[in-house]
């Protein structure tokens, strides 16, 4: 990871702490942030439910914050901000270890979203993510519809 990537990770983690305190309390952290790519993690410790797995809301959160992380690494955050419009999650296996969520946004989609948001003040984009455990088992898959919005419009 480059110094710029480390700087983006730090920026996203500070944003999580400042703007989504519940996610920060869960221990959700960005570990990779770059153009069109982000990875977040969350520990099992403190996030269990009544049968020893990670609570579903925590699994949702570690994946949902990827929209903001990818925005930070891909678009001009002084001009645009992200919001989530809809989010679907499919639970595939029991989450009994720390989790990792990962998503990518293709270069052609980045170009489309950036141009549309600059022209119209907003643009929707879809992120599909995979949540895995420490063994690499798929725990959940998600599909989020996000919107990149221009400040002041």
Strands 99-104 and 37-42: antiparallel
What pLDDT score does 128 carry? 98
What pLDDT score does 4 carry? 62
Low-confidence ranges of the chain (pLDDT < 70): 1-5
* Per-residue burial over 88-115, b = 16 or more CB atoms within 10 Å of its CB, e = otherwise: ebeeeeebbbbbbbbbbbeeebbeebbe
What pLDDT score does 152 carry? 84
H or E element at residue 80:
strand 80-91
H or E element at residue 55:
none
- Does domain 3-150 fall into CATH 3.20.20.70? no
Per DSSP, the chain holds a count of helices (H) and strands (E) of: 5, 6
What pLDDT score does 124 carry? 98
At 70-95, the pLDDT tens digits run 999 999 999 999 999 999 999 999 99
Write down the domain spans for the chain: 3-150
């Amino acid at each position: 990871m480059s110094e710029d990537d480390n700087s983006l990770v730090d920026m996203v983690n500070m944003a999580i702490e400042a703007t989504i305190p519940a996610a920060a309390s869960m221990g959700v952290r960005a570990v990779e942030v770059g153009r069109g790519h982000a990875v977040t993690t969350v520990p099992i410790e403190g996030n269990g439910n009544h049968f020893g797995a990670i609570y579903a809301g925590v699994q949702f959160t570690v994946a949902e914050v990827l929209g903001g992380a990818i925005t930070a690494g891909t678009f001009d955050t002084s001009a645009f901000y992200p919001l989530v419009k809809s989010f679907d999650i499919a639970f595939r296996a029991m989450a009994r270890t720390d989790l990792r969520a990962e998503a990518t946004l293709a270069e052609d989609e980045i170009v489309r979203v950036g141009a549309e948001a600059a022209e119209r003040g907003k643009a929707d984009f879809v992120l599909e993510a995979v949540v895995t455990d420490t063994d690499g088992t798929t725990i959940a898959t998600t599909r989020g519809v996000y919107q990149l919005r221009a400040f002041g419009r």
